[in-house]
């Protein structure tokens, strides 16, 4: 039996391939069974949030299409038609279990904007206090990137990790169409074996995980591994299980050794740094000299104006920017305490000169160490 942490807040991620049984038709019976399981879990887990794909698949069904459209505009139309249909199916299923659901559609811009990020957090907190289960999906009707299989959130695996960090979940449970994480693709390699527990990330893990795109979904095992890494960095344990049978959710939470459990949290990022590292879109970049590079990377120091040699892009106080060396290599990302116009005036100068140059001083640091994340956390 596994020893899981006490779970007060749980995030469950469900992909289109699970909701449709790898077809283009939403499986209503599956959602009914899922609602029943979650209804039973509510007696022991206070807060449950679902990150659900399926809007495009539901739209395909509503519009009577035979396959997933290739054109982005048609996929967006499917999402627009399918999202209300999908939430209606969820609503009906959970109503039979005496539970209410809420629809939350979100884009990466909502995470990039600190105010909207916090508003989303407070909204979900209020929903939890009213015993409501939030159903979260990326807003495919206005977001092009996921529909092109390019990084917006990338896919709902990544979104689920960000949501877990946003709400401070203890466990993220990713429902897959396979039994967990294997040493190789089990559909191609009969010698592949299931890895029951993962304690440390290394380069071999990504090598074992392959990309896959189904007729209705966008994610593969690699996206799940990257999502697991992000969730762990937010202080959230992760499980990847076969979600075709919703009862597996209860089995995993009861400690049965099914699926793959990411069991070790080492130096998790602070919640504010999670936002900087994974959610915020950089507005520009600051180029630093070798002395500043050593100070922020090796000596764990803040970035001062004296070490800055150039500024690219336009940004304001509080925006996130890339910090790069003079060869263009990204060292990390940080939240700036001065705008690009102000930095252009004070770069290369000592901190004592800031007030004389600008007529005011917000801070000695352009990027404080507490608002900086090294590129190690940004790489897959």
Q: Which residues are annotated as a binding site for substrate?
A: 53, 140, 156
For the stretch 114-142, what's the b/e string if a residue is b when 16 or more beta carbons lie within 10 angstroms of its beta carbon?
beebeebbeebeebbeeebbbbbbbbbbe
Instruction: Tell me the CB-side half-sphere exposure of residue 317, using CA atoms within 13 A.
Output: 7
Decide: helix, strand or coil at residue 311.
strand
DSSP for 118-148, written as a single string = HHHHHHHHHHHHTTEEEEEEE-TTT--TGGG
Binding-site positions read 13, 53, 140, 156, 176-177, 218-224
List the 47-52 sheet strands across, edge first.
100-106, 132-138, 47-52, 9-14, 171-176, 237-242, 260-262, 197-198
Decide: helix, strand or coil at residue 240.
strand
Binding-site positions for ATP read 13, 176-177, 218-224
**How far is it, in rounded angstroms, from Cα 351 to Cα 304?**
7
Closest to 140 (Cα-Cα) out of 16, 14, 17, 55? 55
């Amino acid at each position: 039996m596994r020893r899981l942490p006490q779970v007060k807040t749980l995030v469950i991620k469900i992909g289109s391939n699970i909701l449709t049984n790898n077809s283009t038709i939403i499986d209503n019976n599956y959602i009914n069974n899922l609602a029943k399981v979650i209804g039973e879990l509510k007696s022991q887990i206070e807060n449950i949030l679902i990150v659900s794909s399926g809007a495009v698949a539901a739209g395909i069904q509503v519009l009577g299409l035979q396959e997933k459209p290739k054109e982005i505009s048609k996929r967006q139309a499917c999402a627009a038609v399918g999202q209300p249909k999908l939430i209606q199916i969820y609503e009906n299923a959970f109503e039979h279990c005496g539970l209410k659901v809420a629809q939350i559609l979100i884009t990466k811009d909502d995470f990039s904007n600190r105010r909207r990020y916090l508003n989303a957090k407070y909204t979900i907190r209020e929903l939890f206090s009213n015993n409501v289960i939030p159903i979260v999906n990326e807003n495919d009707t206005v977001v092009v990137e996921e529909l092109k299989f390019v990084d917006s959130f990338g896919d709902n695996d990544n979104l689920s990790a960000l949501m877990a960090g946003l709400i401070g979940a203890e466990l993220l449970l990713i429902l897959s169409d396979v039994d967990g994480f294997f040493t190789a693709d089990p559909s191609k390699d009969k010698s592949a074996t299931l890895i029951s527990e993962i304690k440390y990330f290394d380069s071999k893990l990504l090598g074992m995980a392959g990309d896959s795109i189904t007729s209705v979904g966008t994610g593969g095992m690699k996206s799940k591994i990257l999502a697991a890494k992000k969730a762990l960095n937010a202080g959230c344990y992760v499980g990847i299980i076969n979600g075709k049978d919703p009862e597996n959710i209860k089995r995993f939470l009861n400690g049965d050794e099914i699926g793959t459990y990411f069991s070790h949290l080492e130096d998790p990022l602070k919640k504010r740094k999670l936002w900087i590292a994974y959610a915020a879109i950089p507005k520009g970049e600051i180029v630093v000299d070798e002395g500043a590079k050593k100070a922020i990377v090796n000596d764990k120091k803040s970035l001062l104006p004296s070490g800055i040699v150039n500024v690219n892009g336009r940004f304001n106080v509080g925006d996130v920017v890339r910090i790069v060396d003079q060869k263009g290599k990204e060292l990390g990302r940080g939240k700036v305490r001065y705008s690009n116009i102000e930095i252009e005036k004070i770069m290369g100068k000592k901190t004592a000169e800031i007030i004389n140059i600008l007529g005011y001083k917000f801070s000695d640091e352009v990027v404080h160490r507490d608002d900086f994340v090294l590129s190690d956390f940004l790489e897959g």
